[in-house]
Amino acid sequence: MQTMLFVDDPVRGNPLRPTADAIRALDGEEWLSTILIDHLLQTTLKGCVPDHVLIGSSDCYSYFSTYNDKLDKHDCADTVQTMRGGLQAYAKSEFRYISAACHQGHFFVVDVTFDSRHPAIFKQVNVYDSLSITSRRRATAVLGRLQRFLSGFCFHGLDHNLLLLEKQDYVVQQAVFRNCPKQNNSHDCGLFAVAIIWHLLEGKEIHSSVFTQDHIGVLREALYRGLSSNAE
């Protein structure tokens, strides 16, 4: 499926610059903050796709950004505006919402596809979790927040000529936990989420060996060098 990419910060509408401490967390075995992961999604990924074949599609809308348990309609005004503008401008019959979800300190990827023929239902909800033991309760909690975010803040009161945007109660029918690479530590979930989204945007099939823990180690080192040099 082809994708149109919009990138926006869930709080301020612009990428938040990570602190020196957040960048130093890359140089070692530390958990990465939501601000740093969001920065990586909005700068590293955005920088790799300007000439990408997926950009400019006329049949799909994709949006990604991290969100956390505190996200509500007051915090995400810029996010709502971006999604509204994109949906109204392109009037997609089908689109995707891709997010690096952070719930209780763990990042995983939620990939939601909508179909205008069934506007009140998520056509497909794919979950990519790099932990070997997946907590369906955790994923269900995050998907519940995503459902409230989409139905309450993004799609109500929009252009009623667009069937997709009519006032509906969006519901999650079933989440499918997809096979994906697994982390062998407790701190690389954020980078696994970034890498999975990167592969999704490139249209690659996600499977257990599409990249490895060693690749994530190389990515961590490269990002640390790049962000450290930019901060100087």
In whole angstroms, give the CA distance from residue 163 to residue 45.
31
Let me know if 71 is exposed, middle or buried by CB neighbors in 10 A (0-12, 13-18, 19+).
buried
Q: For 113, which DSSP code?
A: E
Per domain, the residue ranges of the chain are 5-231
Tell which wins on pLDDT, 108 or 17: 108
The arithmetic mean of pLDDT across residues 166-188, rounded, is 72
Lowest mean pLDDT among 15-19, 38-42, 73-77, 194-198: 73-77
pTM greater than 0.75: no
In whole angstroms, give the CA distance from residue 83 to residue 63.
7
Query: What are the tens digits of pLDDT across the range 76-127?
Result: 455 555 555 554 544 455 566 677 777 777 888 877 766 555 555 556 678 8
In whole angstroms, give the CA distance from residue 58 to residue 110.
23
Contacts 24+ apart (CB under 8 A), 15-19: 15/39, 15/42, 15/43, 18/227
Domain 5-231 class in CATH: alpha beta
Query: What pLDDT was estimated at residue 8?
Result: 36
The arithmetic mean of pLDDT across residues 147-155, rounded, is 53
Query: What are the tens digits of pLDDT across the range 21-49?
Result: 888 999 988 888 877 887 787 665 655 44
Query: What pLDDT was estimated at residue 105?
Result: 78
Tell which wins on pLDDT, 70 or 173: 173
Tell which wins on pLDDT, 64 or 213: 213
